Structure 1
Amino acid sequence: CRRRFAAGRPGPATATTYKWASCRPNNSLHSNSNHGRTFSGGTVPESFSVRSRNSSNSSGAGAAFCRLLSLQILDLSNNQLTGELPDCWWNLQALQFMDLSNNSFSGQIPAAEASHNCSLESLHLAGNDFTGTFPRVLDHCDSLTTLDIGNNKFFGAIPPWIGTRVPSLRILSLRSNNFTGEIPSKLSRLSKLQLLDLANNRLTGPIPVAFGNMASMRHPEIVSSQASALDGSNYQDRIDIIWKGQELIFQRTIRLLTGIDLSGNMLSRCIPEELTRLEGLRFLNLSRNHLSCGIPKDIGSLRNLESLDLSCNELYGNIPQSISILSGLSTFNISNNHLSGKIPTGSQMQTLTDPSIYRNNSGLCGFPLEDCPNTSPASDEKTGEGEDQWLYYCVTAGVVFGFWLWFGLLFSVETWRCALLFSVDGMQSKIMQKVSHIDQFISKSSNDQYM
């Protein structure tokens, strides 16, 4: 058997001790490294984890971990660990990877001392009962690239300082908490951010226009590939997200993942046209909000988009024709809006054959829904008739206005009035002269007939 690092259970008056065991029983503590400093008859490991497939480990983590000063990787995920985190945990100055996800930890995240030197690169606290505001202990964590605190009970506003004091963030997941207020526009300053998940909170206000400036989402090829302290170890960074409607864990391909999930909030106003600059996005989920206006007309600029969900909003207008050029789009949902018009056609749109992705948009028609009524000619005729009517109205109004203007000028300007009357008299005398000549001719003709 490989040697495993096991923890004995402390007695009422004894300290926790660590020792080596020949084999690891189920749900025991084990180490991934044999390097470190001597401590209580054993060796302080650089990598320490608790793995429990049966989830039967219900003991608290305890403050004994605070003495593992050389610890770099701590994985206690997927157990039934309870209690609050001790204040001394942040004394682990060498800690770079910490995963406490999917346990029953509770309480607030303890604050750190002013002299705290944050060495964390990856922090996973998801799936617990942590509460309080956003952990202030993460302020100035310059090396932190992954932060997942989803599925907890955190509340309050998302602090704007994240955008400037945690500059290395590539993955930020705050989903399924109770965060309120508006999304800070300063998050757009995270030049390396490639995944933003704020779903299922109570966020309000508009989507920041500044999100269109996120460098790593506009040009994913510049995503940082710097070496990490985790490289070469048995651990790889990972993230659990909703991908194309399914909850998946990304690990080895995490650097290729780029997307935004703001679903399940109370966001309002229009979808910023600036979001169409994020050409590197692979998924965009804005569903279950109160977004209005129309779908951005340049949505086709998101050429790498594979999943787009805009369902359950208040969007109206037509579906932009540019969406048909998204050759990689395989998941699409715009149901429960107020959209109208014909569904765009195209090579990729023809593969989206599920009518439910368009349901509850009473004005939509075309494949895969019912064919649009053959009202195009009639519509054109109606439009033409309307234009003709407006033309008639304009001409009539112009004639009437011109007549009265001319008529008014004639009676208001004496010289014009006199000239007009003289002209009329002259015309009348000429007509009378011609009429008299005709009468004479007729009379002469009559006399000649009787002769």
Structure 2
Amino acid sequence: MVCFTISQFFVLLLLLFAMTLHKGICGANTKLSCNGKDRSALLLFKHGVKDGSHKLSSWSNGEDCCAWKGVQCDNMTGRVTRLDLNQQYLEGEINLSLLQIEFLTYLDLSLNGFTGLTLPPILNQSLVTPSNNLSNLVYLDLSFNEDLHLDNLQWLSQLSSLKCLNLSEINLENETNWLQTMAMMHPSLLELRLASCHLVDMSPLVKFVNFTSLVTLDLSGNYFDSELPYWLFNISSDISHIDLSFNNLQGQVPKSLLNLRNLKSLRLVNNELIGPIPAWLGEHEHLQTLALSENLFNGSFPSSLGNLSSLIELAVSSNFLSGNVTSTIGQLFNLRALFIGGSLSGVLSVKHFSKLFNLESLVLNSAFSFDIDPQWIPPFQLHEISLRNTNLGPTFPQWIYTQRTLEVLDTSYSGLSSIDADKFWSFVAKIRVINLSFNAIRADLSNVTLNSENVILACNNFTGSLPRISTNVFFLNLANNSLSGPISPFLCHKLSRENTLGYLDVSYNFFTGVIPNCWENWRGLTFLYIDNNKLGGEIPPSIGLLDEIIEMDFHKNNLSGKFSLDLSNLKSLVFINLGENNFSGVVPKKMPESMQVMILRSNKFSGKPG
């Protein structure tokens, strides 16, 4: 125990007070304003920017630039270290005078509308006389400036500290030496993202590229149209993420991919890869994402994929695969997303799902049948179920009712003909997106209230009148059913608050009566299809209140009378079909500038369109 006398205690208090006072006085003088050179470089950048949304209104000479929007300074030195202007609706030129900010390490100008890039004189000169000390920049993101074209990337060679580079969605089609530029000038890069850059040359015959430190490589969405390149398999031993999706890549997946022992994510979606899915992929023990969908693979589903216990996402599909899916996938206890599609078939049982405790998304879009006990309770709670094109029916399965966290349910083209109406409609009312289309479900919708944001019930045998909808419903497709009666109770029903319906398709049913004059309740509609019914009467004037409408289709009904609607007020209208009715009078002459297609055939109109 440490003891103090009273006098010692007071001395200690005085010392503490003095230290606090000194700290306060010194602290008052440590707040530094930003460096003048940094401010000048920032203002030079601003001079080339078109800022229609006034996002840079704080950037003025009278303000400390460390307080400007997007600018971050070092607390001790006052020097600018970060500039983040992501998604600020900026346009114009990117003046790379920013690279002369000596201590700038982070620059993000992504998701804007820049169309040009200007190099400062010192950077242009350095391309002739290289310097390794022009910038301390570590992170550079210019991605998603979609109208920005860069013909030369050599200026990047001066950013010798750069570790993360993202130029995705920038047009680089004229930069034919991009690979050599990236590799020779940036051996220290950890992350390189050049997705959807219009690149065409992947240099497939090059054996080695100097990406000695690379961890992430994203070259998806380009136009390589070649085989997988040799250099890819001699890349950094630390590489863990590779995305080559949407590239028209051809040939087989070579076994040299096993050289990349630390690979965690491999995405080869939407290419033209052939041959069997390699069984040796099961040796990639660190793999967390394996996405091989939409290729031309043939043969069977390899059972070795069930060895990938680290997998979080597995996506496999091809129209040339055959046979069943191995039950070993039921052992992938870390799996969160499973997507299997194409031409696989066979019977799925509880074994295929036995240990998928963490599964959140289940997408099985192939001709599978199910041998599952109706009382089965799955080990997972899903956010998404898509069983499109399966042989799920005839009865909607009981196990789906156990899923309390569902946001998306797609059982289209799945052979369903029977639902437990009392149970089913209350269950799906909590689901954001439901798609039951192209089945043979027979149920009366007259007393149903739909609540989902997107509802697709087309091409079934639903009967009765139109259902009620809540104000949550945005997309409603009830086409090709056996619904009947008038549509006025649906359209003229007063909702408790403004509805959000933007898409309505009730075509190819048996509706009768007239089109009611209460469209003021549906001003948000952009697509309206009520064709191929038995509706009569005239087009009501309140249709003219649909000022956001893009397409309208009334064809093949029994509509009649003069078409007196002033279409010129519908400023967004592109398409209207009035064909195969009994309209008379003069052909409509007033058109909005947006109009592209008007179909009037098989009516009694006179005259010609204006």
Contact 2:349 2:370 in 1 (8 A): no
Query: By how many angstroms is 1:26 displaced?
Result: 3.7
Q: Indicate the residue corresponding to 1:90 in structure 2.
A: 183
1:328 aligns with one of 370, 377, 381: 381
**Amino acid paired to 2:165:** L
Contact 1:281 1:304 in 2 (8 A): yes
- 1:295 and 2:352 correspond: no
- 1:315 and 2:368 correspond: yes
Contact 1:324 1:348 in 2 (8 A): yes
Query: By how many angstroms is 1:282 displaced?
Result: 0.8
**Amino acid paired to 2:229:** P
Contact 2:290 2:315 in 1 (8 A): yes
Query: By how many angstroms is 1:100 displaced?
Result: 0.9
Q: Percent identity?
A: 23
Q: Secondary structure at the match of 2:225?
A: strand
Deviates more, 1:151-160 or 1:341-350: 341-350
Query: By how many angstroms is 1:73 displaced?
Result: 2.2
Distance 1:109 1:364, change over 3 A: farther
- 1:101 and 2:154 correspond: no
1:207 aligns with one of 282, 287, 301: 301
- 1:361 and 2:455 correspond: no
Contact 2:384 2:409 in 1 (8 A): no
1:72-83 map, 5 Å? 72-83=163-174
Distance 1:294 1:110, change over 3 A: closer
* In 2, Cα distance between equivalents of 1:144 and 1:339: 41
**Structure 2 unaligned blocks of 5 or more:** 1-37, 46-82, 86-91, 106-122, 425-440, 444-610
Q: Secondary structure at the match of 2:367?
A: coil
**Amino acid paired to 1:87:** Q
Q: Indicate the residue corresponding to 1:165 in structure 2.
A: 259
1:29-40 map, 5 Å? 29=96, 34=104, 39-40=130-131
Contact 2:394 2:417 in 1 (8 A): yes
- 1:47 and 2:138 correspond: yes
Deviates more, 1:317-326 or 1:93-102: 317-326
- 1:188 and 2:282 correspond: yes
Contact 1:271 1:296 in 2 (8 A): no
Q: Indicate the residue corresponding to 1:273 in structure 2.
A: 327
- 1:178 and 2:279 correspond: no
Q: Indicate the residue corresponding to 1:285 in structure 2.
A: 339
Contact 2:206 2:229 in 1 (8 A): no
Q: Indicate the residue corresponding to 2:217 in structure 1.
A: 123
Q: Indicate the residue corresponding to 2:518 in structure 1.
A: none
Query: By how many angstroms is 1:81 displaced?
Result: 2.1
Query: By how many angstroms is 1:328 displaced?
Result: 1.1
Q: Indicate the residue corresponding to 1:236 in structure 2.
A: none
Normalized per residue, which structure has more helix?
1
Query: By how many angstroms is 1:151 displaced?
Result: 1.6
Query: By how many angstroms is 1:209 displaced?
Result: 0.3
**Amino acid paired to 1:109:** S
Contact 1:58 1:79 in 2 (8 A): yes
State the number of aligned residues: 312
* In 2, Cα distance between equivalents of 1:62 and 1:109: 17
Deviates more, 1:51-60 or 1:352-361: 352-361
Contact 1:271 1:293 in 2 (8 A): yes
Distance 1:300 1:109, change over 3 A: same
Contact 1:52 1:78 in 2 (8 A): yes
Contact 2:195 2:221 in 1 (8 A): yes
Q: Indicate the residue corresponding to 1:432 in structure 2.
A: none
Deviations 1:354-377 (A, max 9, x none): 885154326876674679xxxxxx
Distance 1:145 1:82, change over 3 A: same
Q: Secondary structure at the match of 2:274?
A: strand
Query: By how many angstroms is 1:196 displaced?
Result: 1.1
Query: By how many angstroms is 1:327 displaced?
Result: 3.9
Distance 1:54 1:76, change over 3 A: closer
Contact 2:363 2:387 in 1 (8 A): yes
Q: Secondary structure at the match of 2:282?
A: helix
Distance 1:113 1:271, change over 3 A: closer
Distance 1:114 1:76, change over 3 A: closer
* In 1, Cα distance between equivalents of 2:328 and 2:375: 16
* In 2, Cα distance between equivalents of 1:183 and 1:153: 17
* In 2, Cα distance between equivalents of 1:325 and 1:154: 38
Q: Indicate the residue corresponding to 2:54 in structure 1.
A: none
Q: Indicate the residue corresponding to 2:242 in structure 1.
A: 147
Contact 1:145 1:171 in 2 (8 A): yes
Contact 1:207 1:267 in 2 (8 A): yes
Return the structure number with greater relative CO, CA threshold 8 A, min gap 6: 1
Contact 1:329 1:348 in 2 (8 A): no
* In 2, Cα distance between equivalents of 1:112 and 1:34: 35
Deviations 1:403-444 (A, max 9, x none): xxxxxxxxxxxxxxxxxxxxxxxxxxxxxxxxxxxxxxxxxx
Distance 1:155 1:349, change over 3 A: same
Distance 1:183 1:41, change over 3 A: closer
Distance 1:61 1:328, change over 3 A: farther
Distance 1:353 1:155, change over 3 A: closer
Structure label with greater radius of gyration: 1
Distance 1:115 1:40, change over 3 A: closer
**Amino acid paired to 1:47:** V
Query: By how many angstroms is 1:160 displaced?
Result: 2.2
Contact 1:342 1:364 in 2 (8 A): yes
Deviations 1:325-351 (A, max 9, x none): 244123112232334565442452487
* In 1, Cα distance between equivalents of 2:213 and 2:272: 28
